[in-house]
Chain A
Amino acid sequence: MKKRKLNIGVTGLNAIDSPGPGISVIRGLREAASFDVRIIGLSYESLEPGIYMHDVVDKTYQIPYPSAGTDMLLPRLEYIHEIEKLDVIIPNFDAELFPFIKLEHKLKAMGIHMFLPTLKQFEERQKVNLSSFGEKYGIHVPKCKILYDLATVHSLTSEFDFPVVVKGKFYDASIAYNIDQVRSYYNKISAKWGLPIIIQEFIHGTEFNVTGLGDGKGNTMAAVAMRKQYITDKGKAWGGISIADEKILGMTRKFLKNTKWRGGFELELMKNKDNELYLLEINPRLPAWIYLAVGVGQNIPEALVNLAIGNTVTPFKEYTIGKMFIRYSWDMIVDREEFEQISVYGEL
Chain B
Amino acid sequence: MKVSKNIAISDAGLVFNPVTGESFSTNPIGMEIIQLIREGKSNKAISESMLARYTTDHSTFEKDFHDFTEVLRHFNLLEENEEKKA
Task: List residues of chain A with CB under 8 Å of any chain B CB.
Answer: 206, 208, 226-227, 229, 240-246, 321-322
Contact = CB atoms under 8 A, between A and B. Distances in A.
Closest 9 CB pairs of A and B: A227-B21, A243-B21, A241-B21, A321-B18, A244-B18, A245-B19, A322-B16, A322-B18, A243-B18
B20 A227 contact: yes
A206 B8 contact: no
Interface residues of B, number: 9
A180 B20 CA distance: 36
Contacts of A241: 21, 23
Contact of B19 (A226, A229, A240, A243): A243
Given A241-B21, A243-B18, A321-B18, 13 more contacts: A208-B21, A226-B21, A227-B20, A227-B21, A227-B22, A240-B21, A241-B23, A242-B21, A244-B6, A244-B19, A246-B19, A322-B8, A322-B18
Interface in B9-61: 16, 18-23
Nearest to A271: B20
A285 B49 CA distance: 55
A228 B15 CA distance: 17
Nearest to A241: B21
**Secondary structure class of chain A's binding surface, majority of residues:** strand
Nearest to B16: A322
Contacts of A227: 20-22
Contacts of A206: 20
A245 B22 CA distance: 12
Contacts of B23: 241
A244 B19 CA distance: 5
B20 A243 contact: yes
B4 to A, nearest CB: 12
A246 B19 CA distance: 8
Of B6, B16, B19, B23, most A-chain CB atoms within 10 Å: B19
A245 B8 CA distance: 15
Contacts of B8: 322
25 contacts: A206-B20, A208-B21, A226-B21, A227-B20, A227-B21, A227-B22, A229-B21, A240-B21, A241-B21, A241-B23, A242-B21, A243-B18, A243-B19, A243-B20, A243-B21, A244-B6, A244-B18, A244-B19, A245-B19, A245-B20, A246-B19, A321-B18, A322-B8, A322-B16, A322-B18
A321 B5 CA distance: 14
B73 to A, nearest CB: 14
Contacts of B19: 243-246
A137 to B, nearest CB: 24
